[in-house]
Amino acid sequence: MLTETLLTLTARIISGVSVRWVDSQPDTCQRVYFANHTSHLDVVLVWSSLPADVRRLTRPIAAKDYWEGGSIRRHLAKVFNAMLIDRKEIKVHQSPVDMMLREIGKTHSLILFPEGGRSPGEEVGEFKSGLYYLGKKRPDLELIPVYINNMNRILPRGEFLPVPLLSSLTFGPPIWLEAGEPKLDFLARARDAVLSLKES
């Protein structure tokens, strides 16, 4: 509890984040928040920007290789209830999507970065297919696009000292997988949904 407050506060102070909900409201229903990924702080930032009751029910997906490196990171990952996914060894019968769905059950929501890794600069990379399979297996989940602005300058790739600029976080209206929508079309549409929040 104390670490949570401290972490939320630190993330907000360093990132000077202003959170906006555009055509969308915070809700405790089951959702998948998907965002562009530019900085190590992104996970903490999106998670801490949610209202406390929503936050308790939301589990960020994070890379196992990064968040299991060192005891501080491991402790932090526990505080924000992260679900650690092994990026390197994806087994056929133990697919990450199945694991995510099993873990969230009927109550939790997810925070996902579909680019897989952090993209350099301001660009948003192509989305990986995880989001598509989540939508296909659980069509009832609301898929909420999130655009993170300016974090790439606050803590860019390969840097460990942050520069305390201001950033913004925009939550957009939910999208769903249309019946029979091809995978690539959906992923492109999801990526556009994130990018369109940049201008709004």
Residues interacting with other proteins, by CB under 8 A?
A: 16, 18, 20, 121, 149-150, 153, 156, 159, 161-168, 170
CB of 163 to other proteins, least distance (A): 4
Of the pair 48, 149, the CB lying nearest other proteins is at: 149
CB of 161 to other proteins, least distance (A): 5
Tokens of residue 38, six digits? 């530019």
Of the pair 36, 149, the CB lying nearest other proteins is at: 149
CB of 137 to other proteins, least distance (A): 34
CB of 73 to other proteins, least distance (A): 21
Alpha-carbon separation of residue 136 from 131, 148, 186 (angstroms): 9, 26, 11
Of the pair 82, 148, the CB lying nearest other proteins is at: 148
DSSP 45-106: HHHHHS-HHHHHTEEEEEEHHHHTSSHHHHHHHHHTT-EEE-SS---STT-HHHHHHHHHTT
β partners of residue 91: none
Of the pair 30, 38, the CB lying nearest other proteins is at: 38
